[in-house]
Amino acid sequence: MRARGFRVESVCRVLSEHGVQVAPRTYCNWKTAAPSARTVTDAQLTDALRATVGTPEGMYGRRKMTADLRRRGHRVAECTVDRLMRDEGLSGVVRGRRHRTTIAGGKGARRAPDLLDRDFTAADPNRKWVTDFTYTRTWSGFVYVAFVVDCYSRAIVGWHPATVKDTAMVTTALKMALWRRDHANRSVASGLIHHSDAGSQYTSVAFAETLVLEGIAASIGSIGDCLLTG
């Protein structure tokens, strides 16, 4: 038997002179033997794991990845997925500490009354706006997104992403909503109620001044009450 033009015995003899002991029979058995069932299965699973790179499933850890592979028809144990993911350098996204969005203002923070009392309906546009912000995971870290919802249509009329959850973020979202209403020929008239929770961003002096200058009535409910659930 030859290996790329050289006899196997000659190649093995050269390797042994360099300290690598390989018997010609060992090479011949490897060349002619069929791959084991485990080798074939590992190769198939490895291809399936590599296909998740760059997709949402690529952020799965061992447990979720095992469940995903089983849904796709692979009969696989979690220990096997763990071994193959380590071999491929895949680890998924590590869950960090829980991010808090709503942080209530201090005892001295001025708080507006609740003008909605959980009534998130409106007979006309630009009568009741509900605001809040959340966070979303990106490849470069967490990003906060503030948004403004018109209770009449349930449409998001303003939004703004930021890497910090400060007053400027929620103020920009509000100003964007006002700007978009103006450019859609649906300018906000007097009587608009701006409802939020008791987060420090919405109870700040700067934000309260913005509402006053725009002629908008402030309304604050309990923590979480600004969210539309229907």
Q: Which domains does the chain carry?
A: 2-88 (no CATH), 96-230 (3.30.420.10)
CB atoms within 10 A of CB 120: 18
pLDDT of residue 218: 93
Distance in angstroms (rounded) separating the CA atoms of residues 142 and 96: 11
Q: Residue 142 belongs to what H/E stretch? A: strand 141-150
Measure Cα distances from 106 to 64, 132, 166, 204, 213 in Å: 40, 19, 15, 10, 24
pLDDT of residue 3: 47
CB atoms within 10 A of CB 26: 12
Tokens of 210: 């913005």
Distance in angstroms (rounded) separating the CA atoms of residues 102 and 147: 14
pLDDT of residue 40: 79
CA angle centred on 120, ends 106 and 101, rounded to 5°: 35
Ranges of residues in the chain whose predicted pLDDT is under 50: 1-3, 224, 228-230
pLDDT of residue 149: 95
Closest CA to 190 of 167, 168, 211: 211
pLDDT of residue 153: 92
**pTM of the model as a whole:** 0.53
Distance in angstroms (rounded) separating the CA atoms of residues 57 and 47: 14
The beta strands (E) that lie in the chain are given as: 2-3, 6-7, 128-138, 141-150, 155-162, 193-196, 217-220
pLDDT of residue 229: 42
